[in-house]
Every structure is written in C-alpha cells, then in structure tokens.
Chains A and B, each alone.
Chain A
Amino acid sequence: MSDAVAISKFVIAFAVAYALLYVLSVQYNLALFTYHAATEEFHFLVQPTTDGPALEVARMRPLDISSAIFSSSGLAQRRS
C-alpha cells in the first residue's frame, strides 16, 4: 500500500473514530478534565460541582442550575 493511500485511509478513519469517541464521551460524560468556572478550580477527570456549574460537559438541568445560583448567592434562604 502506498503512503498516499495509507494516509488517506488514516485521515478518514481518524475523522470517523474521533466523531464516535466524541459522541460516547458526551453521552457518558467521559471528560478528561473539569473546570469549575465560578470557583476557578481545575481538576483532572470528572469532578462533581461544589458551587456553580462545572464545565466538564456541563449537562445540568435548569433546576440544578437555579438551586446552585440561589444557594451560592443566599437567595435560597430568602426564597424559602
């Protein structure tokens, strides 16, 4: 097999494998690192949020986000 054919097969296989791995990573939340933007914390692999949303793949439900904001700003106590 010539180099050109081998490279063309590799780049196509790479694009397909990349897409499949990306879908699996998103679906199962297989993040290499987590960045907690609110607290500016950086962790390897997936780390649960402590305060504010985490940016691994960031799949929180609206209710989770609201409660995170209200609890961090003290609004939760005022609301209740």
Chain B
Amino acid sequence: MIVFLLIVHSLLAVALLGAITHQTISAWVPASCGAADSFIARMRAVPPTSYVNAVLVLYALTALLGAIIYPSYRLNVRIVLEQMQLYIPNGAFELKEHFVALGLGMLPAYWYFWRAPHVAQYGRTRAILTALLAFIVWWGFVVGHILNNIRGFDL
C-alpha cells in the first residue's frame, strides 16, 4: 500500500512540477507579441492563470499524501540514513519538509494574487510567489527522487 501511495505521490508531483514550471516561465518571461513559433515561445505563451487551481489542488494533495506516507519513511528510511551518517541527504529531506510546510502557508496569498491577473500592480508579487512555490516544488521533487533512489548513488 505504501508503495502504491508513493507512486501516486510522485505522479501528482510530476503534474504539479509541470504546472508550476509553466506558470513561472510565463509569469517571469511572457511571450512578446509576434514572437517566433518555437518550443520556447509556446512555453512562454501559456496563460498563467489557467494553472492556478491545478497548482493549489495538486500542491495540497501531494503534501497530504506525503504526510500520509511519512511515518513509513521515518521508521524505515531515515533511521538507516542517520546510522549510515548520510547527513546531507537526510538534511536535504528535512529542508524539503520545512519548505513544503512553509509553502502551504503561502497558498492563500498565491490564490488571492492570481485571482485578479489583470491588476498590473500585483504583477511582481504574483511572479515572486510563483517562483517561490516553483523553488519549493523543484526542491521537493529532486530531493524526493534522490532519497527514493539513494541506494543507486553508491554513497
């Protein structure tokens, strides 16, 4: 059951990573008029508001599933990491927990400032909030995968 939940957790994280990355790119470097029809230009041209609800739901669901499977990690993985003195991956995962928890507190602000995307004066606020959430999601994704595959790193 834990393996199934872990896979669902990672699949939700993939979807969240895609949504927040597209939104961050389009918030920071929106496509200019008449831009070339390249892959990068199309990525910059996505409407950032269309990702807001998806990011909110996926962030909450991914964090919730992570919390549900956390006791198994705490008992079966972290203890081994500490006994093997793998402090860097262990600390990176602790940072992930803290970053994700802090990101949850940012979600109301994120939701509010994306509610009115036409208000130009909040443009920088939206971009910074989105970038912070993107950093949290990328950190969590990369660290989660490193921990999941740590036996393959020959540490």
Main secondary structure of the interface of A (DSSP, over half): helix
Q: B84 — nearest CB in chain A belongs to which residue? A: A62
A-side contacts of B116, CB under 8 Å: 4
Q: Which of B71, B98, B102 has the most CB of A within 10 A?
A: B71
Q: Does B34 contact A (CB under 8 A)?
A: no
Classify chain B's interface size.
20 to 34
Cβ–Cβ contact A62 & B83, under 8 A = yes
Q: Given A37-B71, A53-B74, are A19 and B102 also a contact pair (CB < 8 Å)?
A: yes
Q: Does A76 contact B (CB under 8 A)?
A: no
Give Cα A69 to B79, complex, Å. 9
A-side contacts of B122, CB under 8 Å: 8
In the complex, identify which listed stretch (B19-27, B104-112, B135-143) lies at the interface while the others stay far away. Answer: B104-112
Q: Does A18 contact B (CB under 8 A)?
A: yes
Give Cα A42 to B145, complex, Å. 29
Pick the residue among B75, B83, B104, B112 that contacts A11 (CB under 8 A): B112
A-side contacts of B104, CB under 8 Å: 18
Question: Which residues of B does A touch, CB under 8 Å?
Answer: 70-72, 74-75, 79, 82-83, 85, 98, 101-102, 104-106, 108-109, 111-113, 116, 122
Question: Which residues of A does B touch, CB under 8 Å?
Answer: 4, 7-8, 11-12, 14-15, 18-19, 22, 26, 35, 37-38, 52-53, 55, 58, 62, 65-66, 69
